[in-house]
Amino acid sequence: MERTQMSLSTAQRPAGPPGDPAWFRHVLGQYPTGVCVITAQPADGPPIGMVVGSFSSVSLNPPLVGFYPSVTSETWPHLREADNWCVNILAAHQSDVCRRIATAPLAERFEGVPWRPAPSGAPIIEGAVAWIDCVPVAVHDAGDHKIALAEVRHLDTASSELPLLFFRSGYGSFAPLTLTAYDPEMRLTRPLRHFELIRAIAQELPDQGLRCLVTAPVSESVVVVGQLDPPSASASDRPTTLVGQRLPFRPHGPSIFEAWAPAAEQAAWVAKFTPDSQEPEIQALARIRERGFSIGLGSEGHRRFAAALERLAAEPGTVPNEELDALVASLDYEPAELTDEVLAQARVVSAPVFDGGGQPVLALTVFGFKARPDVVRAAIAAVTGCAAKATRSLGQAPRRD
Ligand SMILES: Cc1cc2nc3c(=O)[nH]c(=O)nc-3n(C[C@H](O)[C@H](O)[C@H](O)COP(=O)(O)O)c2cc1C
């Protein structure tokens, strides 16, 4: 009802006069634009740049692009004299670069803005999503603006970031309405698909009474991509899930995704540890590889970590990342001996699932052992067997090296 009234009143309102600048801007501001910086490198002096939203592709044959500089712009006369322009399409995180170039004095616009020369010598701003190196070919009058046309000589994309957008006087970025999630490098989509492909195999674990989390390395984090619980596992009436939760993946955390990494990556990982804990970490990685699984003991830290995860499952965002990091740092992993006494303290066991390239792409983590060594041994056999089956189903013989 309210919606109808609102749209009626908008529709019935008399349109404003086109000569009213505020009204003109208000109506035209409903049309979003990207944000570009047109750059040039004068023969003498620092590079120059001008922020424009009016950039557009114009012609394919010949390849022409254009933009509309204001006749009152102080930058435009300098651009007009340049032999080349480079159009930089800014990325969504570059609104600070945009503000700097739009507002700083002409000679200081590139201070603190990293750039490299395009083939013509005009600046390509580091981090821009694409650049178009071009030669000015025509300038036409258009009221209080000019129509500036340029012929494209070189062009390339430079990052997979989303572009910066300008809409209703504010900056933003793009959210697609397409049927696939926007994940151009498949960072999350690939692990989700891996999990989907092995889900039926992993189901053996809850069927044997074990609770199971399936995690994957996603950028610098480990993300829960699946959770399989025995039917009776949920403590509360409300079903909860950790799927989507990022777990800190850093020194002191479980290293299962690093244990089979190439030597250089593993060395870089170990170098992040404090000098005292580098040797223990090297040994821990070797134990994971030899055993084919990672084991975490049920220290007080582990109990608090598990409680924090329960809280997060019930209400995402309730545990600050710093608190999770501190809890992960207190965990106790990869004991040297697996005696009955040690196994009685086991809290989690994780086994890797490898992809066709031999890298661990998922970890199956089981827990809920009730401090019984026989249950832990059975869980180790179950989770490693299940992970090996899952690895084979993804087209790879399990690694044991
Ligand atoms: C998002 C955004 C889009 C802009 N688009 C244009 C444009 O298409 N044409 C233009 O002349 N100025 C545009 N401007 C303004 C110029 O970047 C610049 O601020 C203006 O020309 C005044 O500076 P100047 O006198 O130093 O050139 C835009 C500014 C912003 C922040």
pLDDT of 336-377, one tens digit each? Answer: 999 999 999 998 899 999 998 888 999 999 988 888 999 999
Closest CA to 351 of 230, 209, 198: 198
List pLDDT tens digits, range 299-335: 777 778 878 888 887 787 788 877 877 777 777 889 9
- Read off the pLDDT band of 2 (50, 70, 90): very low
pLDDT of 381 over the 60 cut: yes
Q: Where in the chain is the domain with CATH 3.30.450.40?
A: 189-393
The DSSP code sequence of 9-70 is HHHHSPPPPTT-HHHHHHHHTTS-EE-EEEEE--SSSS-EEEEES--EEEETTTTEEEE--B
- Read off the pLDDT band of 1 (50, 70, 90): very low
Closest residue by CA, ligand 1 atom 6: 52
Lowest mean pLDDT among 155-159, 201-205, 273-277: 273-277
pLDDT (mean) for 276-288: 90
Amino acid 309: pLDDT: 80
pLDDT (mean) for 207-229: 89
Strands (E), 298-359: 332-333, 346-354
Cα(68) to ligand 1 centroid in Å equals 9
Phi, then psi, of 355 in degrees rounded to 5: -90, -175
Amino acid 277: pLDDT: 82
- Read off the pLDDT band of 245 (50, 70, 90): confident
List the structure tokens of 20: 């009213």
List pLDDT tens digits, range 104-141: 999 999 999 999 999 999 999 999 999 999 999 999 99
**Residues with beta carbon inside 6 Å of ligand 1?**
35, 50-54, 67-70, 73-75, 98, 102, 166
Compute how many other C-beta atoms are within 10 angstroms of the C-beta atom of residue 349.
25
| Of 185 and 391, the one with more pLDDT | 391
- Read off the pLDDT band of 240 (50, 70, 90): confident
List the structure tokens of 258: 């690093």
pLDDT of 236 over the 60 cut: no
Amino acid 7: pLDDT: 45
Nearest atom (ligand 1) to Cα of 101: 17
Cα(52) to ligand 1 centroid in Å equals 5
**pLDDT cut 90: percent of the chain above it:** 58
Compute how many other C-beta atoms are within 10 angstroms of the C-beta atom of residue 31.
9
Residue in 28, 31, 36, 70 to alter for ligand 1 test, most ligand atoms within 8 A of Cβ? 70
> Residue 110 in contact with residue 87, Cβ under 8 Å?
no
Residue type, 394: L
**pLDDT cut 70: percent of the chain above it:** 91
- Read off the pLDDT band of 56 (50, 70, 90): very high
List the structure tokens of 316: 């995402």
Amino acid 306: pLDDT: 78
Strand partners, 352: 363
Closest CA to 330 of 347, 311, 310: 347
> Residue 349 in contact with residue 294, Cβ under 8 Å?
yes
Amino acid 312: pLDDT: 81
- Read off the pLDDT band of 275 (50, 70, 90): confident
Q: Where in the chain is the domain with CATH 2.30.110.10?
A: 32-172
* Averaged confidence pLDDT in the chain: 88
In this structure, which CATH number among 1.10.579.10, 2.30.110.10, 3.50.50.60, 1.10.390.10 belongs to the domain 32-172? 2.30.110.10
pLDDT (mean) for 19-30: 90
pLDDT (mean) for 270-278: 85
Sequence-separated (6 or more) residues with CB below 8 Å from residue 309: 242, 245
- Read off the pLDDT band of 383 (50, 70, 90): very high
Cα(99) to ligand 1 centroid in Å equals 10
What is the enclosing helix (H) or strand (E) of 155?
Answer: strand 145-157
Using alpha carbons only, how large is the chain's radius of gyration in Å? 29
Judged by DSSP in three states, 257 sits in: coil
Nearest atom (ligand 1) to Cα of 55: 8
Closest residue by CA, ligand 1 atom 10: 69
pLDDT of 160 over the 90 cut: no
CA 42 to chain centre: 37
* Rounded-to-integer distance, Cα 312 and Cα 241, Å: 9
Could you tell me how many residues make up the chain?
401
Please provide the CATH number assigned to the domain covering 189-393: 3.30.450.40
